[in-house]
Structure 1
Amino acid sequence: MSPLLSIRDLAVAFRTETGPFEALHGLSLDVMRGRTLALVGESGSGKSVTAQAIMGILPKSAAITRGQILFRDGPEATDIARLDTEGSAMRAIRGQRIAMIFQEPMTCLSPLHTVGDQIGEALRIHTGADRKESDARTQEALARVGFPDPKRALKTYPFELSGGLRQRAMIAMALILKPALLVADEPTTALDVTTQAQILALLARLQDETGMAILLITHDLGVVANIAHDVAVLYRGRLVEAGPRETVMRAPGHAYLKALLHAVPRFDMAPGERLTPIRPARAEIPPAHQPPAMPAGPLLRVENVSKSYTLRAGRFWQKSRMVHAVSDVSLSLAAGETLGLVGESGSGKTTVSKMVMRALDPDSGKILFDDGTGPRDVHGLTGDALFAYRRTVQFVFQDPYASLDPRMTVRQILSEPMEIHGAPAAERKARCRELMAMVGLEASGLGRYPHAFSGGQRQRIGIARALAPRPRLLVLDEPVSALDVSVQAQILNLLKDLQAALGLSYLIVSHNLAVIDYMADTISVMCRGRIVEEAPRAALFRRPVHPYTRALLAAVPDPSLDHPLDFAAITGDQNDPSRWEAPYRLGPDEAGAMRAIEPGHRVRFSTAQDAEAA
């Protein structure tokens, strides 16, 4: 069988102020008909540049300097590298015969146009279909990708959809013209594990139905192990290993791929085992200036907290409705330990973290914080007490680029919280250098702006900013979800080292159970605003009891070929309490009750009688 797409000796260079920079160095690879080729590598390895070259959408500062991109969709091969990217020949291929799914569906979908208009646009441009035919085929495409109400979705705007449905809309847009090749650039990176598994299953099913080839660009080796037929590994613009998935994943030959596999958090890690980053960071963590006062009880207690929102009606004849984002949630975090809060998008995790930070007020319940002088109600603090709490509890954001002001230097970013809390100028200057060393960055970077750093370095700056006022508690909202696996390993090891040296406590919000397994001492699982299971880390992963917890664990893609995902079991119903098995099934207005099944391990049951029977 001849390959559908052949890349031969491809080189792409960018124009820079210091001269040309070659991002791809003579890349050669084949995408076979009806098969999925996973293109693997870290950020900056050249994966997305390869996709842009295939689609003819390279930035203006980049150009193909040599090589061929041969697309064999007809009787003769077409060299895409030689086509005018704005010419009719390239436009006929782009979108119609080669389609692309981008990484972030929210930024790739226009907020001003309905989903139906955007999906049907490609059909109208390439085939001249009228509105009636366009809407009919769009509705059919939405049904094929699993939209619950395709007819209604035609008139829906992207902001009204969940992340998983937005990604399904992007897939429908790409596949409406039945392309021969689908280029998927990190299609599941921004999604939680269950939604990711559903999208992967959808891509595999659509490939079986249409016979299309897929070029899957990813840094997630768990995804590679579960969906790819062939694997190609890029490192700094060069192909270092390629072959069938079974060969490459079971017997990796190149040191770089072996290092990537060792950097991935796994459920079978031994106690005390550390991740092995490809490039270990040299962090210089000094001892704390003075031992913090230890509370007699938990450092943080969340007691029966609830938060609801009223959604306004979209039309005058519609009624507003109440959404219960958090319902009667209780948590406890001991000093010096890590509490992991896990669940799908929309489960209420971030709302809880915002209430801990006092960015939101709860409708009911209390949040108590004990800095060693006794527990105090966080939402009752005022004046100096509130100012001290703001200093003691700091936040690390999910997106390391969006959370840093692009107009401020790193020195200004790190100095700002210290200046707000009254540190003198001389202390701020010394502390900035100390903070850079603590997170493994050179002090020479203090005068640079955030855009001059990589994603992992920017996240280190975010951690350094959070540490600037010497806090007791860090709230980390998906701190590594936007990073490559190798950079994730650096950041997670750094957080562990900082905790051990400075006596920090962590509240980590994440949907990645492998990360939580590596970091947390205690884990609480949230679904639809409620805690459904909580236990010490070892107990939860040894014996997950609640059906929702088991579904989350089953949806985590493992880089081992011996533990494939069971796509048939991941139906999307795992977060519906009415579909849970007895004795966990809850009615529409039923809250259930938490019951202990062993010391420290509590599970939500529907009734006390069911709990005893179980």
Structure 2
Amino acid sequence: MTPLLSIRDLAVAFRTESGPFEALHGLSLDVARGRTLALVGESGSGKSVTAQAILRILPRSAAITRGRILFADGDRETDIARLPADGPAMQAIRGQRIAMIFQEPMTCLSPLHTVGDQIGEALRVHTGADRKEADARTQEALARVGFPDPKRALKTYPFELSGGLRQRAMIAMALILKPALLVADEPTTALDVTTQAQILALLARLQEETGMAILLITHDLGVVANIAHDVAVLYRGRLVEAGPRDVVMRAPGHAYLNALLHAVPRFDMAPGERLTPIRPAQAEIPAARAVERPAGPVLRVEGVSKTFTLRAGRFWQKPRTVHAVSDVSLSLEAGRTLGLVGESGSGKTTVSKMVMRALDPDSGRVLFDAGDGPRDVHGLTGEALFAYRRTVQFVFQDPYASLDPRMTVRQILSEPMEIHGVPRAQRHARCRELMAMVGLDANGLGRYPHAFSGGQRQRIGIARALAPNPRLLVLDEPVSALDVSVQAQILNLLKDLQAALGLSYLIVSHNLAVIDYMADTISVMCRGRIVEEAPRAALFRRPVHPYTRALLAAVPDPSLDHPLDFAAITGDHSEPARWPEPFRLAPDEAGLMHDVEPGHRVRHGAGRAREAA
């Protein structure tokens, strides 16, 4: 059968100050009707450029220099590469016959227009439907993609939706005209693992119902293993391997794909086994130093709670109170790593902000011991607070947004040292030392953040956190925005720095595979409460709470022998009232923590049996 989309010898070049830069070098691949082709590779490999070329939405600095993009829709074949990008023929194809889902739904949806208006717009533009018909079709599309209240969603703005519902709205917008081909560019990268699994299941179901083809662009090989029919691997703008998923994933023929598979954290890794990055970082880790450690935990969170009052959406509505964190207690030993796990909205980041004193708890306390005894963080003032700010540092999730684009790397690294009184001469030497510690060339100190890749920017963020010689690093989703190969570099670097500098880590993540690789002990949060806590080995050997089990079941494994059970992944796992006994909690019920084994505790409903089912 003729492929729906056939790309032949496609080359795309960008105009730069130093001359043309070719991003795609003669790419050839086919997308079969009714099947999913996963286009795999790291950032910069040419995946998104391929998608932009298909839809003819390349940046002005880029152009197709040769090749064909043959789209065989209906009874005729069209060479998209030869159509004017803004001509009526291409406009008829774009959106109506070929639709696209982008990576970050919040930046792709207008904050000024309702979800209903934005989805219905495509229908009105391409079919001339009136408002009433567009609203009816939009409501039907929202119901199909799993919106709990499609009629209400018509009048909802994007900022009122969760990340998963925003992505569902993008899918409804893409599919309302029933396209023959859906281009999905990293559609689940920014989502929790459970939400990601639900979106993948939704795409598979919609493909089965409509018969559309999907071009899935991703760097996540776990996603590839669970949804793709065929795989094409790009490396620096060239196709290096392609074929049916089962053949390619079970016996990768190219070294690049084999390296990608070994860079992914896996649950079956042996004790002490390290990830194998494609390009190992040449970091100059200092020799391990003796660090004076406190007699007890370096950090204790004792019964902290935090509520937020949300303004009413309409003048006749009352403000709403949200219990973001409810009676959370944590303990972190010096030189160890505590993993705090949960979905978006579970309260993880709120806890980390209270540890950093960016938020004050409504009740409870945070105790930090720098070696001179535990002290209440929120009671510190003056010099004691200044010392705490130096001793506890934060590494942010987004390496693009967390660095000031108007400051050079030298200024970024020097700023915390200048604030804490380090002399200028020592600051210059320390900047060079920090760059070497995170595997970057000191010659880059005079450059600005935009001149670095995402992984390099995250290294700069880590170097900035290390500048004032901290004892504790709070890591908020430190690798969620990175490719798997770069992720492996960063995780290995953090392990090496911890061993050498005696650092303690509080790492916040929704990815249990990353937490499994990094953490010594793990606390699982849901709806503002800790529902299970245990040493890493115990938690993964015997997860007890249904929420923990759901998180583990939703992590996509690159192995074809461990497919996701999409039918078992529903929204019920995060609803305490729907948990089975003895875990079920009534509204506003706190429940009690019970011992499963030494160091392993799980939350039950108050007064219920002590032993887990």
What band does the TM-score fall into relative to the shorter chain? over 0.9
Corresponding residue for residue 243 of structure 2: 243
Q: Tell me the distance in 2 between the aligned counterparts of 1:612 and 1:96.
A: 56
Q: Tell me the distance in 2 between the aligned counterparts of 1:146 and 1:314.
A: 24
Equivalent residues in 2 for 1:570-581, closer than 5 Å? 570-581=569-580
Q: Tell me the distance in 2 between the aligned counterparts of 1:292 and 1:242.
A: 51
For residues 116-169 of structure 1, the C-alpha deviation after alignment (integer angstroms, 9 at most, x for no partner) is: 000000000000000000000000000000000000000000000000000000
For residues 381-400 of structure 1, the C-alpha deviation after alignment (integer angstroms, 9 at most, x for no partner) is: 00000000000000000000
Q: Tell me the distance in 1 between the aligned counterparts of 2:250 and 2:455.
A: 28
Q: Tell me the distance in 1 between the aligned counterparts of 2:489 and 2:290.
A: 26
CA contact (8 A) 2:544 2:612 kept: no
Q: Secondary structure at the match of 2:610?
A: helix
Corresponding residue for residue 335 of structure 1: 334
CA contact (8 A) 2:324 2:346 kept: yes
Equivalent residues in 2 for 1:481-520, closer than 5 Å? 481-520=480-519
Equivalent residues in 2 for 1:162-561, closer than 5 Å? 162-287=162-287, 291-561=290-560
Q: Tell me the distance in 1 between the aligned counterparts of 2:580 and 2:557.
A: 26
Q: Give, in angstroms, the shift of residue 613 of structure 1.
A: 7.1
Q: Tell me the distance in 2 between the aligned counterparts of 1:263 and 1:612.
A: 39
Runs of 5+ in structure 2 lacking a partner?
none
Q: Tell me the distance in 1 between the aligned counterparts of 2:364 and 2:612.
A: 31
Q: Tell me the distance in 2 between the aligned counterparts of 1:186 and 1:340.
A: 26
Aligned partner letter, 1:107? T
Corresponding residue for residue 98 of structure 1: 98
Corresponding residue for residue 113 of structure 2: 113
Q: Tell me the distance in 1 between the aligned counterparts of 2:152 and 2:612.
A: 44
Q: Secondary structure at the match of 1:77?
A: strand
CA contact (8 A) 2:590 2:606 kept: no
Q: Tell me the distance in 2 between the aligned counterparts of 1:610 and 1:116.
A: 47
Q: Give, in angstroms, the shift of residue 181 of structure 1.
A: 0.1
Q: Tell me the distance in 2 between the aligned counterparts of 1:326 and 1:277.
A: 37
Q: Tell me the distance in 2 between the aligned counterparts of 1:22 and 1:82.
A: 19
Q: Secondary structure at the match of 2:590?
A: coil
CA contact (8 A) 2:201 2:566 kept: yes
Q: Tell me the distance in 1 between the aligned counterparts of 2:405 and 2:54.
A: 32
Q: Tell me the distance in 1 between the aligned counterparts of 2:407 and 2:120.
A: 43
Corresponding residue for residue 86 of structure 1: 86
CA RMSD of aligned residues (A): 0.7
Q: Secondary structure at the match of 1:341?
A: strand
Aligned partner letter, 2:86? E
Q: Secondary structure at the match of 1:573?
A: helix
Aligned partner letter, 2:121? E
For residues 499-554 of structure 1, the C-alpha deviation after alignment (integer angstroms, 9 at most, x for no partner) is: 00000000000001000000000000000000000000000000000000000000
Q: Tell me the distance in 2 between the aligned counterparts of 1:307 and 1:492.
A: 31
Give TM-score, length-normalised by structure 1: 0.99
CA contact (8 A) 2:596 2:611 kept: no
Aligned partner letter, 2:99? A
Aligned partner letter, 1:388? A
For residues 225-257 of structure 1, the C-alpha deviation after alignment (integer angstroms, 9 at most, x for no partner) is: 000000000000000000000000000000000
Corresponding residue for residue 55 of structure 2: 55
Q: Give, in angstroms, the shift of residue 468 of structure 1.
A: 0.2
Q: Give, in angstroms, the shift of residue 293 of structure 1.
A: 2.4
Aligned partner letter, 2:356? M
Q: Tell me the distance in 1 between the aligned counterparts of 2:212 and 2:611.
A: 52
Corresponding residue for residue 9 of structure 1: 9
Q: Tell me the distance in 2 between the aligned counterparts of 1:610 and 1:312.
A: 40
For residues 334-383 of structure 1, the C-alpha deviation after alignment (integer angstroms, 9 at most, x for no partner) is: 00000000000000000000000000000000000000000000000000
Runs of 5+ in structure 1 lacking a partner?
none
Aligned partner letter, 2:562? H
Q: Give, in angstroms, the shift of residue 315 of structure 1.
A: 1.0
Q: Give, in angstroms, the shift of residue 80 of structure 1.
A: 0.4
Change in Cα spacing, 1:176 to 1:609, as seen in structure 2 (3 Å) is: closer
Q: Give, in angstroms, the shift of residue 612 of structure 1.
A: 4.2
For residues 436-464 of structure 1, the C-alpha deviation after alignment (integer angstroms, 9 at most, x for no partner) is: 00000000000000000000000000000
Q: Secondary structure at the match of 2:323?
A: strand
Aligned partner letter, 2:225? A
Aligned partner letter, 1:417? P
Q: Tell me the distance in 1 between the aligned counterparts of 2:201 and 2:594.
A: 35
Aligned partner letter, 2:253? G
Q: Tell me the distance in 2 between the aligned counterparts of 1:346 and 1:611.
A: 28
Q: Tell me the distance in 2 between the aligned counterparts of 1:608 and 1:597.
A: 16
CA contact (8 A) 2:13 2:63 kept: yes
Q: Tell me the distance in 2 between the aligned counterparts of 1:294 and 1:613.
A: 36
Q: Secondary structure at the match of 2:37?
A: strand
Q: Give, in angstroms, the shift of residue 608 of structure 1.
A: 4.0
Q: Give, in angstroms, the shift of residue 320 of structure 1.
A: 1.3
Q: Tell me the distance in 2 between the aligned counterparts of 1:459 and 1:336.
A: 22
Corresponding residue for residue 69 of structure 1: 69
Q: Secondary structure at the match of 2:215?
A: strand
Q: Give, in angstroms, the shift of residue 316 of structure 1.
A: 1.7
Give TM-score, length-normalised by structure 2: 0.99
For residues 456-494 of structure 1, the C-alpha deviation after alignment (integer angstroms, 9 at most, x for no partner) is: 000000000000000000000000000000000000000
Q: Tell me the distance in 2 between the aligned counterparts of 1:560 and 1:612.
A: 34
Q: Tell me the distance in 2 between the aligned counterparts of 1:322 and 1:451.
A: 40
Q: Tell me the distance in 2 between the aligned counterparts of 1:410 and 1:419.
A: 14
Corresponding residue for residue 160 of structure 2: 160
For residues 572-604 of structure 1, the C-alpha deviation after alignment (integer angstroms, 9 at most, x for no partner) is: 110000110100001012110001110000000
Q: Secondary structure at the match of 2:574?
A: coil
